[in-house]
Structure formats: C-alpha cells, structure tokens
Amino acid sequence: MKKEFFLISTSTILLLITAFLLLNCAAAQTNFNAYYGSAIDESKIDGNIGSEWDDAGKATGVVIDPQGSADVWTKNDGTNLYIAVRFTADSANPWIAIQLGGNSCMEANTDAALFGNDNYNVDGYVDCYMSGTGGAKADSAQEGRGAINVTASKSVEVELKKSLNSGDVAGKDINWAINETRTIIIIWDSNGRGSSGGTSNHYGNGAVLGTGTVRTLFLSSNSLSQSGTSILSNIDATIVAVAVVVIIAVVVIIIGVVWLRKRGARRKSEPS
C-alpha cells in the first residue's frame, strides 16, 4: 500500500515540476523573432510599411516607453537586420529611437538608430551610438538606411535596414550573428530634446531619463513559412500546455486514490 502511494505521489510531483519548467520556458522566450526573409531594397525603406514586410515576424500591442503600444516587424536576410515600428503619437513631430544591444536604456557604447530628431536631422534617420545616460552621438560614418513617416492622424511608421556587421567599430555598430539572441529597446518622445508638440517625455512626467524596457530579439535562420504560424501566441500556447499538465496530474491523483481504496477494500474483504 505504501509503495503504491509513493509511486503516485512521485509521479504527481514530477508532473507539477514539468508545469513549473514550462512556465519558466515561457518567461525565457524572446520578444521578437527576426525570421529569415527577402532583402528589402533601400528605395523601399521609406517610412511606409507595406507587403515587403509580409515575411517578417510581427508582434502586436508591444508596450513602448514612455507610453503607448506599437506593432513591430523584424526579419533578416542573412546580411541585414530589418525593423519596422508603427504606433500612434500625441504629436506630429515626435522622435523615436531603437537601441540595438545593451542591458539598460542609453547604455554607453551601444548602437542605435534615431528617427525624426530635430537636433540631428529633421524627419530623417541618424545612425548613432549611446555615450551614456543623456547622450547620443551621430556616427561619423552613417551606415544603414532608415525612414520615418508621420501622418495627419499622428500615426508614426518607422523602417530600418541595418547591416549585421558593417565593421564600423568607431561607430559602435552591431556585430550580430544568425541564431543569436540580442537585446533591443524602443523609446520615443514628443516634448523636447528634438521633438515638439506633445506631452510624452522619455525623461519626465513619471519617466526617468535612461530607463526603458529591454526586450530580446532572435535572429532566426528559419523563414516564417518554415517555422509555421501558430494559432496561439507563445505565452498562450505555454499556458495551455501547463493547464494540460495540471489536469493530467489531478487525474493521476484521482485514479491513484480510487485504485488504492479499491485495493484496500479488496484486501479487507479477503478471508484471513
């Protein structure tokens, strides 16, 4: 009797441990998947997100700093990284920055792309790097291609094409490899330091200069068609998997208890 109870208890514990590990895996999943896709000609990097992004990974409802949410497209062609962002601002003259790499916002010597900042290039793209909290310096060699477009309804569209390894060490450019996971930070502003007309600060009104959400980006060697499109998001699929494991664990416990009771009842009914 004790042996059977021990086996059932051990099996149940193992199932619950599996559920816990699945939850940990969900936490470790990357935020953006830059699938392998077709190259985009520089003429198409114009601030108008179109069908050229159909083979990219797409994340919707991504919360961006200091406020709001965005749709984000990411892909690579083996040589270049492509990123597109669409969100609604509170101004017709915002700027947006994409930091590539680093473990904190505005970390010194990290690569970045800056769009629409009046202090650098009005409504344009600037290849730059972070020189520490509060500082960004334009690269002497402007690498990559970027564009920003702001509509009358204040919808902002940004497109970026950036070499995975331009060799620009002085400009702190990225040196990323396929099948690597790297970090990315998206931040914007509409109320000063190169922007105007809005109230969204990346350094005030509750936001602190040098803070931003660090997310992960996986440079995949697989195309979107090879990987397939899941009906559920990664986190939803994991929750379903955990729920299944927990249900199985409960069923095992119930069956085990019923079996032990029946076995005990049979033993009691047997003549001594």
**Within this chain, do residues 102 and 154 fall inside the same structural domain, yes or no?**
yes
- pLDDT at residue number 234: 44
**What is the number of other CB atoms lying within 10 angstroms of the CB of residue 43?**
7
Asked if 14 and 74 sit in the same domain, the reply is no
pLDDT of residue 229: 46
Residues 106 and 219 in one domain: yes
Same domain, 95 and 10: no
pLDDT at 39 over 90: yes
* Contact call for residues 246 and 16 (beta carbons, < 8 A): yes
One domain for residues 250 and 144: no
Q: What percent of the chain has pLDDT over 70?
A: 69
- Average pLDDT of every residue of the chain: 82
pLDDT on residue 23? 45
CATH code, 202: 2.60.40.1190
pLDDT at position 26, please?
41
At 201, the pLDDT band (50, 70, 90 cuts) reads: confident
**Domain span at residue 252?**
2-28+232-269
CA gap 208, 7 in Å, rounded: 54
| Residue 184 sits in the same domain as residue 103 | yes
- What is the model's pLDDT at position 111? 95
Please tell me the distance from the alpha carbon of residue 13 to that of residue 246, in angstroms, as a whole number.
10
Q: Report residue 98 CA to chain centroid gap.
A: 12
Kindly state the average pLDDT of the residues 135-157. Answer: 93
Query: Which residues does 71 contact at the CB level (< 8 Å), separation at least 6?
Result: 58, 59, 60, 61, 62, 85, 86, 87
Per-residue pLDDT of 231-267, as tens digits, reads 333 444 445 555 666 677 666 677 766 666 676 666 6
Residues 218 and 240 in one domain: no
pLDDT at position 11, please?
A: 58
**Closest C-alpha among 108, 106, 62 to residue 84:** 62
* C-beta pairs of 49-55 under 8 Å, 24+ apart in sequence: 49/73, 49/84, 49/86, 49/157, 49/159, 53/82, 53/84, 55/223, 55/224, 55/225
Claim to verify: residue 45 and residue 176 sit in the same structural domain: yes
pLDDT digits (tens, 9 = 90+) for 148-185: 999 999 999 999 999 999 998 988 999 999 999 999 99
Specify whether 8 is located in the same domain as 102: no
Structural domains in the chain (count): 2
pLDDT, mean of residues 50-79? 96
State whether 63 and 119 are in the same domain: yes
Same domain for 15 and 134?
no
Name the pTM for this structure: 0.73
**94/147 Cα distance (integer angstroms):** 13
Are 192 and 255 contained in the same domain? no
